[in-house]
């Protein structure tokens, strides 16, 4: 069985650990196969374009399955699991071809590891311009946020896995947040992403890619060798989440029987999701060297370390709208905000016990734009203009990432052009505000502030949130 190892544990012993050395050599070998039209299914660019591409369909090599990535829905995790498996097999074959170990496996980047002070930095082998033998380093790319390549930490909120791991359900709905994403048909973009897909997934993409780097766009992300280690970590977090009490994968055949296909010629991978649920069984045959210690403790019977949230309400009893913004909200270099008048629920939830049953969700709809001032935004709630300053405990509700906003705002045959949408579970924050107001909530203000600016900066950002809505479930 192949074992995927933590890149920072490898790097802290040896910046150019053999696993990374051979990864670099395999990347170079795959890049040498690029040719002019990327028709070799084992070449670097062919594999990257399979995720997303800006190359016009008419110019694709025969049989290419490109622009296939799944975002904004419950196929995000399984599709990327297969994508990693497909890539890893090809990379391993390159390692073996070059005389390397036949048990080579892709490492993962655990940027959330609290025991590793350097975890939020790019691992050294990805920052070095040259390899130890003096050659150009294939793991280094210029097309990143310059600060990341200089050794800056990513923002700690960008790598915070607590909200994702706290989700109790894998699949959500049009409104309900979830770990793995909203139920939908296959879609390049357009649905509701799972909490993990937003943070750390999207946020890390934007922290590494910055304003115009490869990692910050669907169409170019997989060109950066760090992409694969980032997604290996997300795949590992899926495994970790399943260890927590009450968490399980979806059961509907619509999900389990969904088949994905990648590659062409002699390098084709075609699997259903049910083929990929046990990573330690054939055909995948891999495991991770570690899952977060607190999750292992919980799985061993130590009780819930990460309290589940989400309750039992789901798409069968859909949330009710109780407040909406009057219009769109720009996301620029500074803070922006909108106020929401909150109504009491009028449907069956009107009689629900607020303390025990109600979940409160904040939905950010149709975030569109092409010029970004920041990669991610912190979303805060407070009591709005009507409240005295003393009763305005501004509280952080979550982080949203703009990874993919450019592509999903584009109306073409792969994107409906609706942009990104997000739902945050703001129950705890909203209840705190309610307490501050003596038990009722008639108005809240939603504020967006950049997590960090992107570099290079856009002078005239055009990103806006189409609408902000508050739901109760």
Partner 1 sequence: MMLVSSWTTSRLRMLEWRHPEWWIVVSSVAAWVVLLTIEPHILLARTPAISTGSQSLLGHMASEAALCLAMIVAMMLPLITWHGRFVALSSFWARRQRAIVEFVGGYIAVWMLASLMILAALHALYPLLGEQGTLVIAFGAAAVWQLIPAKRVALSHCHRTASLTARDRGTDIDCVRFGATIGHSCVAACWGLMAAVMSTHALIVMVLLFTVQLWERSHRRPNLRVSAAFITGVGSALLLLGLAGSEVPD
Binding site for partner 1 (CB under 8 A): 174-175, 185-188, 190, 316-324, 326-328, 341, 343, 345-348, 365-366, 411-418, 421, 466-467, 469
Q: For residue 240, what are the CA distances in angstroms to 75, 151, 353?
A: 18, 28, 33
262 membership: H or E segment, kind and range: strand 259-264
- Give the residue with the Cβ less far from partner 1, 186 or 435: 186
CA distance 201 to 224: 15
Q: Give me the phi and psi of 298, to 5 degrees please.
A: -65, -45
CA distance 235 to 279: 10
Smallest CA-to-CA distance from 141 within 50, 27, 22, 42 is with 27
Within 10 A of 333 (CB to CB), how many other CB atoms are there?
14
- Give the residue with the Cβ less far from partner 1, 417 or 453: 417
- Give the residue with the Cβ less far from partner 1, 58 or 99: 58
The CB-of-7 to partner 1 minimum distance in angstroms stands at: 33
CA distance 244 to 305: 9
The CB-of-241 to partner 1 minimum distance in angstroms stands at: 25
The CB-of-346 to partner 1 minimum distance in angstroms stands at: 4
CA distance 214 to 221: 5
- Give the residue with the Cβ less far from partner 1, 281 or 326: 326
- Give the residue with the Cβ less far from partner 1, 393 or 417: 417
The CB-of-321 to partner 1 minimum distance in angstroms stands at: 5
CA distance 111 to 159: 6
The CB-of-413 to partner 1 minimum distance in angstroms stands at: 4
CA distance 66 to 340: 42
CA distance 41 to 33: 9
- Give the residue with the Cβ less far from partner 1, 324 or 451: 324
The CB-of-119 to partner 1 minimum distance in angstroms stands at: 36
The CB-of-290 to partner 1 minimum distance in angstroms stands at: 35
Report yes or no: 44 and 24 within 8 Å, Cβ to Cβ: no
Q: Residues with Cβ < 8 Å from 138, sequence gap 6 or more?
A: 24, 25, 27, 28, 31, 131, 225
């Amino acid at each position: 069985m192949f074992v995927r190892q933590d890149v920072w544990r490898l790097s802290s012993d040896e910046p150019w650990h053999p696993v990374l050395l051979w990864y670099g050599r395999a990347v170079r070998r795959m890049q040498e196969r690029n040719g002019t039209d990327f028709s070799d299914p084992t070449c670097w660019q062919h594999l990257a374009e399979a995720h997303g591409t800006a190359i016009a369909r008419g110019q694709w090599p025969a049989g290419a399955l490109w622009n296939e990535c799944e975002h904004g829905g419950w196929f995000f995790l399984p599709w990327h699991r297969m994508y990693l498996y497909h890539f890893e097999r090809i990379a391993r074959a390159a390692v073996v071809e070059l005389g390397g170990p036949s048990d080579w496996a892709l490492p993962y980047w655990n940027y959330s590891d609290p025991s590793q002070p350097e975890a939020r930095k790019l691992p050294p082998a990805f920052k070095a311009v040259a390899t130890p033998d003096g050659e150009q380093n294939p793991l280094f790319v210029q097309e990143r946020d310059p600060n990341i390549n200089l050794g800056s930490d990513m923002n700690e909120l960008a790598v915070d896995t607590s909200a994702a791991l706290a989700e109790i359900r894998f699949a959500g709905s049009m409104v309900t947040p979830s770990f793995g994403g909203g139920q939908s048909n296959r879609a390049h973009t357009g649905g509701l992403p799972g909490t993990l897909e937003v943070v750390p997934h999207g946020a890390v993409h934007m922290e590494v890619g910055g304003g115009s780097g490869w990692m910050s766009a669907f169409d170019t992300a997989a060109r950066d060798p760090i992409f694969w280690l980032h997604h290996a970590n997300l795949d590992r977090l899926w495994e970790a989440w399943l260890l927590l009490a009450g968490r399980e994968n979806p059961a509907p055949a619509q999900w389990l029987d969904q088949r994905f296909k990648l590659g062409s010629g002699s390098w084709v991978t075609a699997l259903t999701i049910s083929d990929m649920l046990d990573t330690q069984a054939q055909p995948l045959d891999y495991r991770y060297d570690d899952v977060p210690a607190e999750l292992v403790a919980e799985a061993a019977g130590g009780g819930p370390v990460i309290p589940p949230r989400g309750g039992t309400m789901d798409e069968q009893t859909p949330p009710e709208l109780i407040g909406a913004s009057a219009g769109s909200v720009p996301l620029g270099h500074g803070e922006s905000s909108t106020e929401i008048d909150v109504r009491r629920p009028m449907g069956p939830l009107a009689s629900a016990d607020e303390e025990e049953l109600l979940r409160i969700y904040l939905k950010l709809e149709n975030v569109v734009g092409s010029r970004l001032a920041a990669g991610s935004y912190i979303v805060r709630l407070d009591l709005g203009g009507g409240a005295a300053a003393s009763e305005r405990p501004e509280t952080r509700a979550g982080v949203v990432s703009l990874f993919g906003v450019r592509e999903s705002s584009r109306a073409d045959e792969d994107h409906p052009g609706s942009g990104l949408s997000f739902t945050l579970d703001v129950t705890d924050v909203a209840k705190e505000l309610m307490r501050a107001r003596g038990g009722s909530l008639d108005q809240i203000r939603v504020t967006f502030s950049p997590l960090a600016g992107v570099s290079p900066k856009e002078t005239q950002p055009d990103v806006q949130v189409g609408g902000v809505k508050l739901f109760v479930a």
